[in-house]
Structure 1
Amino acid sequence: MMRTKISMATLTLALFASPAVAADLPALKEPPVLPPSAIWTGAYFGANLGGIFDASSSIKIVSAPLYNDAANGAGLVGPSAFGNAVALAIPGESNASNLGVIGGGQIGYNWQFSSFLAGVETDIQGTTLSQNVKVFGSATERTTGAFVGVQTNFSKSLGYLGTVRGRFGYLVTPTLLLYGTAGLAYGGANFNNGVFVLSSLANFPTAAVSENYNDGRIGWAAGGGVEWMFMPRWSAKVEYLYYDLGTVSANAIAWGVVGSGAMLYSDYFKSSARINGNVVRAGVNYHFQPLGPAPVLAKY
């Protein structure tokens, strides 16, 4: 009987003590899911190389006579119309499409927010984008039926191109970034319009004149790309950009003076071209994390 009472007391004590003992045992929990480390946050710099080609190839040409020798100072039969013929000889449009090489460097800063990224980047590149075009037109002077020929020489080039852009992206994996970008663009544009006039008429005064535009331009650029962090602190990217620096123009006035000193004709010429195009380039960047060691790329 005494043994039975002791057994019952022991069982009762064990039942009441179990929750307290269990509370002291370590709980079995699933490991926490940690967000990917911010390996993209920080400053970076790098280099790029690629191709550049025109988006607008047309050159628009406007010409108009300023003066015709209605007084017939050239000794022609009837009023002269050389100015009209010279203006008529010029085609209204030509093409000057081209492609070249572009290369330079970039520097920027990224802020990573979990799987999203925002940043700012500036770059500057030199380009070989340049084209020379010759356009020839002809007409007939109405008074004498003489042939009038006009050759226009155009040159169009972009010496350098730079941008200051925002970047906004999404991390498909901790090391693979897809992004869009847009901002300001600037560049050094050169555009030249040269005119040479000749005729089958004896003693016809030929005229050669040129006008050049060479200045910096400001516009905009937009595009996107993909960037891969292939090892700590190093990434590679492929990027597309469209840029638009507006329209440039060059003006010229050609005239002819006969042997007596009288002016036979004068004409006004204006040519204009759009400075816009496409850039496809590859690049490599080195990333700084000044507040800590080199980032450890997450493995999954």
Structure 2
Amino acid sequence: MKIIPKILRAIAALIVLGASMPAVAADLGARPYGQAPAYAAPIYQWTGFYLGGHAGGAFSGSTSFNGLALSNYDARFLGGVQVGADFQFAGNFVVGVEGQYSWLSSNKIGSIFPAGFVYSNNQRGLGSVTGRLGYSWGPALFYAKGGYAYSSHSETLTFGGAPVAFTLNRDHRDGYTVGAGIEYLFTPNWSAKAEYQYYDFGKSRFVAPAALVPFGTFNNDEHTLKAGLNYRFNLGSTAARY
């Protein structure tokens, strides 16, 4: 039958084609395999300028005026703004300068003297210009700070409800501040922070009226806790290390 020779020829052709496939595959070369990219560890950059806001609480460190209990001795709400600049060096160290001002909710701290005089101090705000030094650990920056402090306040002395002229040995508006905190970069340009800051405006005493001179000195200091948010204009970028 003529069909059988045709089938045999077709089978032979398939055998020849199959034998030639390895040679063709060899000519095409080995199949390339993709290599997974190496892990990129981020390098967090703190160099640059920043501005932001904060909120928290403040309370006076002194609870008495030379033994006389102070009135309205409650913690006060504070809120404010900050602006600063940082420079990262030697790998993970960060040095910077910051200006900060906090407005305080109204709260008059005062004392009633046995002679009938009533002294009150209404502190409206706290300001500071500080340097800070920190160490970055991944996206976190641990820092300490210190520098000049300013107190915005008004004071009154009354006797029988009427204002009385008085003189203190110092204005106690200027002082110093120290503190510490942690700041965390959660994007290349945004960071959150929490810090403790202590303000000391020295000791004061009455020079006049004469009836208050024997009561001696009193301290002017504040403890504060703040949480804040900064927008950072980084001069460097958050790069990746391979």
Alignment TM-score > 0.5, same fold:
yes
User: Which amino acid is 1:273 matched to?
Assistant: F
Kept in 2: contact 1:41–1:112 (CA 8 A):
yes
Q: Structure 1 pair 208/45, CA: closer, same or farther in 2 (3 Å)?
A: closer
CA distance in 2, matches of 1:136, 1:220: 29
> Could you tell me which residue of structure 2 aligns to residue 222 of structure 1?
178
**CA positional deviation for 1:296:** 3.4
Q: Structure 1 pair 193/249, CA: closer, same or farther in 2 (3 Å)?
A: farther
Q: Aligned to 2:211, which of 244, 268, 276? A: 268
User: Which amino acid is 1:279 matched to?
Assistant: T
Aligned to 1:121, what secondary structure does the other structure show? strand
**CA positional deviation for 1:39:** 1.4
**CA positional deviation for 1:94:** 3.1
After TM superposition, the structure 1 = structure 2 runs for residues 179-190 of structure 1, keeping only pairs within 5 Å, are 179-190=143-154
> Could you tell me which residue of structure 2 aligns to residue 104 of structure 1?
80
Q: Does 1:296 align with 2:238?
A: yes
> Could you tell me which residue of structure 1 aligns to residue 105 of structure 2?
128
Q: Aligned to 1:93, which of 61, 68, 71? A: 68
> Could you tell me which residue of structure 2 aligns to residue 259 of structure 1?
none
After TM superposition, the structure 1 = structure 2 runs for residues 32-181 of structure 1, keeping only pairs within 5 Å, are 37=43, 39-60=45-66, 93-96=68-71, 97-113=73-89, 114-128=91-105, 130-133=107-110, 135=112, 137=114, 150-173=115-138, 175-181=139-145
> Could you tell me which residue of structure 1 aligns to residue 187 of structure 2?
231
Kept in 2: contact 1:160–1:187 (CA 8 A):
yes
CA distance in 2, matches of 1:213, 1:158: 18
**CA positional deviation for 1:170:** 1.0
Q: What are structure 1's unaligned runs of at least 5 residues? A: 1-31, 61-91, 138-149, 197-206, 254-266
Give me the TM-score of the superposition, normalised by structure 2.
0.70
Kept in 1: contact 2:103–2:125 (CA 8 A):
yes
Q: Structure 1 pair 225/134, CA: closer, same or farther in 2 (3 Å)?
A: closer
> Could you tell me which residue of structure 2 aligns to residue 263 of structure 1?
none
- Listed one character per residue, the Cα deviations across residues 1-45 of structure 1 (whole Å, up to 9, x for unaligned) are xxxxxxxxxxxxxxxxxxxxxxxxxxxxxxx99996351110011
> Could you tell me which residue of structure 2 aligns to residue 211 of structure 1?
165
CA distance in 2, matches of 1:95, 1:211: 21
Moved more, 154-163 or 50-59: 154-163
> Could you tell me which residue of structure 2 aligns to residue 74 of structure 1?
none
State the identity %. 32
Aligned to 1:268, what secondary structure does the other structure show? helix
**CA positional deviation for 1:242:** 0.5
User: Which amino acid is 1:285 matched to?
Assistant: N
- Listed one character per residue, the Cα deviations across residues 179-216 of structure 1 (whole Å, up to 9, x for unaligned) are 111111111233323234xxxxxxxxxx9662357967
- Listed one character per residue, the Cα deviations across residues 226-275 of structure 1 (whole Å, up to 9, x for unaligned) are 1000112000000100000123444554xxxxxxxxxxxxx632465322
CA distance in 1, matches of 2:105, 2:54: 15
Kept in 1: contact 2:202–2:219 (CA 8 A):
yes
Q: Does 1:194 align with 2:158?
A: yes
CA distance in 2, matches of 1:117, 1:133: 41
Kept in 1: contact 2:134–2:143 (CA 8 A):
yes
Q: What are structure 2's unaligned runs of at least 5 residues? A: 1-37
CA distance in 2, matches of 1:239, 1:129: 22
**CA positional deviation for 1:131:** 2.4
CA distance in 2, matches of 1:181, 1:55: 19
Give me the TM-score of the superposition, normalised by structure 1.
0.58
> Could you tell me which residue of structure 1 aligns to residue 23 of structure 2?
none
